[in-house]
Chain A
């Protein structure tokens, strides 16, 4: 990975903050979770900012009440807590209620996957994609870099609805060019070589790993198409099908449990039947909790998610 590194939360919050000055209906809640940019939001817009304390259930409920009265609400916390601690509140007051009453609520969770690499399973978000995807009406957005996170702030403000935004906690370089309007609309961003026989579909941090795998394979003469899947709830599957039609081998990669309804479930259920000739494999974390302290890449490598291991997996899939 190269290029300047930026935190997704900083670009997201900055984009929100810029809009809050002119748009008086944006309200920001945090469940006692901060950032330097958030300090600016608190200072500049004290009438539209509340620290809710360590109370994710009440944060989602209060967000609902604000949204019903016309505010566009952002609720910000650590990823596992803003999704799983308050799953009931999200189900009742966002997923169900938003089907009947229009509202705009964006849950922002920081700490995708193994982001909190020394904090263990309590703070790691490995089930969040599957759980949020299980809820009808709930958007699930997963940016891979700060530029995308900023775009998603703008997208969230522009669309009625409820959604979960899954942010990495680490500063990361931009994956490539900032996503275009077309990418945001389709919910994915393409990389690598068009028309390749092999493809990797990935999300979040794993899209950086996927780019490394792609570069390694291409250096060895194997062109690869990469897809950074940003929308994990309702991507444009017809467009994705068209892009991946030439592929005979497709590897999916996510930093979450596999076989439990995460991104792999989305693609296996909804895209694989459209591409019956392709061979599919799904890389992710085996459903088991680990208490090891990381560097993140070591934690991932221990589960077969290193660049060389994944490159080998693509080759094996092509040859299978």
Chain B
């Protein structure tokens, strides 16, 4: 069982590296959703290197692990290099994303070591995670269930059923991290179906709610850590304010960045061409 804790400087360096690796994966596999994967780089980095998520690459289903559900499955291509780095699968697999025979698809499935559930069809993580959280509590386990969801995903009605349920059941082992990158597929969420004020909505639902800059690894680690350790008698949410397409200026300001593809040349420029 591993619980790796790195310094803020190391976390920043790791996040930069994983961002570059995500871009390179995208250059080779343009079918991947790069913008929503880039917004979550620091979230995944903090979970796996910030001393937050107990995990066991040698036995991904180790009962002593914390459960991680990546509800915004499509937006977790940036988790691939992290899982490879942690040893869930060989790094060489990163060269084969979306290639025939690879288990690393454009939308991750639980055939990938490290993924618990079917994701990418949006809105399932909070409910399935709530079920796991109930089970762990009833079994006397002190493990956490961490769900990473997008904000656009919160347009799905089923998540609100889960939010009501988790509060009713006082699921103090459930931590939701919302990657609030402010954009769904076709536009800014505020212009499609506005989710604001999101924090107030969660508070009204009975959730412990914190907001943080989702690209500030130091603050992010502290906030997620505080949420996990808090004595609050119910579920907790960390709303991570992020930028969709973070690190790729052509994506950052584009309301349609979800469906944009970067050319290999753009990626080379962004990553300095280094392998």
Binding site for B on A (CB under 8 A): 27, 47-48, 50, 52-53, 55, 57-58, 60-71, 88-89, 92-93, 96-97, 100-101
Binding site for A on B (CB under 8 A): 109-111, 116-118, 121, 124, 126-136, 138-139, 145, 157-158, 161-162, 164-165, 169
Whether the Cβ atoms of B138 and A57 lie closer than 8 Å is no
Known contacts A71-B135, A92-B121; decide if A64 and B128 are in contact (CB<8 Å).
yes
A68-B158 Cα distance, complex, nearest whole Å: 19
Known contacts A61-B128, A96-B118; 6 additional CB pairs below 8 A are: A57-B158, A58-B158, A62-B128, A66-B131, A69-B131, A92-B124
The 3 closest A-B pairs by CB, nearest first: A65-B131, A61-B127, A69-B135
Known contacts A68-B117, A89-B124; decide if A61 and B158 are in contact (CB<8 Å).
yes
Known contacts A93-B118, A93-B124; decide if A69 and B139 are in contact (CB<8 Å).
yes
A199-B169 Cα distance, complex, nearest whole Å: 52
Whether the Cβ atoms of B128 and A68 lie closer than 8 Å is yes
A54-B246 Cα distance, complex, nearest whole Å: 40
Can you give 27 A-B contacts (C-beta < 8 A)?
A53-B161, A53-B165, A57-B127, A58-B165, A61-B128, A61-B158, A62-B130, A62-B131, A63-B131, A64-B128, A65-B127, A65-B128, A65-B129, A66-B135, A68-B116, A68-B132, A69-B131, A69-B135, A70-B135, A89-B127, A89-B158, A92-B124, A93-B128, A96-B118, A97-B117, A100-B109, A100-B110
Q: Which of A62, A68, A88, A97 has the most chain B CB atoms closer than 10 A to its own CB?
A: A62
Q: Which residue of B lies closest to A52 (CB)?
A: B165
> Smallest distance from the beta carbon of B17 to chain A beta carbons, Å?
30
A100-B138 Cα distance, complex, nearest whole Å: 25
A231-B130 Cα distance, complex, nearest whole Å: 32
With a cutoff of 8 Å between Cβ atoms, the chain A residues found around residue B130 in the complex are: 58, 61-62, 65
Whether the Cβ atoms of A64 and B131 lie closer than 8 Å is yes
With a cutoff of 8 Å between Cβ atoms, the chain A residues found around residue B139 in the complex are: 69-70
Whether the Cβ atoms of A92 and B118 lie closer than 8 Å is yes
With a cutoff of 8 Å between Cβ atoms, the chain A residues found around residue B138 in the complex are: 47-48
With a cutoff of 8 Å between Cβ atoms, the chain A residues found around residue B110 in the complex are: 97, 100-101
